[in-house]
Chain A
Amino acid sequence: QKEVEQNSGPLSVPEGAIASLNCTYSDRGSQSFFWYRQYSGKSPELIMSIYSNGDKEDGRFTAQLNKASQYVSLLIRDSQPSDSATYLCAVKTTSSASKIIFGSGTRLSIRP
């Protein structure tokens, strides 16, 4: 079982709709969770950090964390074509020392 799992996609969402990206992790003791966005040919950029159960909102983005079920999700409201990218879930596990474990990413495509 991978430490951090994501559906690779592609996930196709119409413009203006809500895009929902999901991630599960295996280490129940994990405390820190991150979402990164990576455009093709570019390096990842941090979108959200979440540390507590529940929702955290930042503009059109909402991160949701459920530690009991070991999943973290990212919702993108009013999706725009510029949101088309690969979204990486990352988790700071108890066994990973100083590094963050990245999922393989979900490719999101927003269709006009």
Chain B
Amino acid sequence: GAVVSQHPSRVICKSGTSVKIECRSLDFQATTMFWYRQFPKQSLMLMATSNEGSKATYEQGVEKDKFLINHASLTLSTLTVTSAHPEDSSFYICSARDSDRGGNQPQHFGDGTRLSIL
């Protein structure tokens, strides 16, 4: 089945640090990947749609300069949380769809990255 690998699984760092999270589709190509954030006991919130070879599409209220997205290949998207602060602490999850199998495919999720900013 479709596998999405996300790394790292856990980050603890000081306020002001920038943190990069990688999302890879291991056995399929993904022209589009999605980045979500989830606070404890709350719903998944879509932050942005990452598009291979072009700019990401950000949801309303998400700062594009704060959350930098790069989708340089058909199997890799990265999310960089720049100058992270304690309020950025959350569970960040990426997902991807198989681009070669049509538009009705489900999204497959990575295992998520738990980010804790001290």
Contact = CB atoms under 8 A, between A and B. Distances in A.
B20 interface: no
A100 B112 contact: no
B113 to A, nearest CB: 10
B44 A99 contact: no
A51 to B, nearest CB: 7
A49 B111 contact: no
A100 B104 CA distance: 9
Contacts of A92: 103-104
Interface residues of B, number: 20
A1 interface: no
| Interface SS, A side | loop
Interface stretch (A19-27, A40-48, A54-62): A40-48
Interface residues of A, number: 22
A87 interface: no
| Interface SS, B side | loop
Contacts of A31: 104
Contacts of B106: 32, 34, 46, 49, 90, 100
B103 A43 contact: no
Contacts of A71: none
Given A98-B97, A98-B103, A43 B34 contact: no
B34 A104 contact: no
B89 to A, nearest CB: 14
B46 interface: yes
Given A43-B109, A43-B112, 17 more contacts: A32-B106, A34-B106, A36-B109, A43-B111, A45-B109, A46-B106, A51-B104, A88-B44, A90-B107, A92-B104, A98-B49, A99-B32, A99-B46, A99-B49, A99-B107, A100-B107, A104-B43
Give the 3 A-B CB pairs with smallest separation, nearest first. A32-B104, A104-B43, A43-B112
Interface of A: 31-32, 34, 36, 41-46, 49, 51, 88, 90, 92, 97-100, 102, 104-105
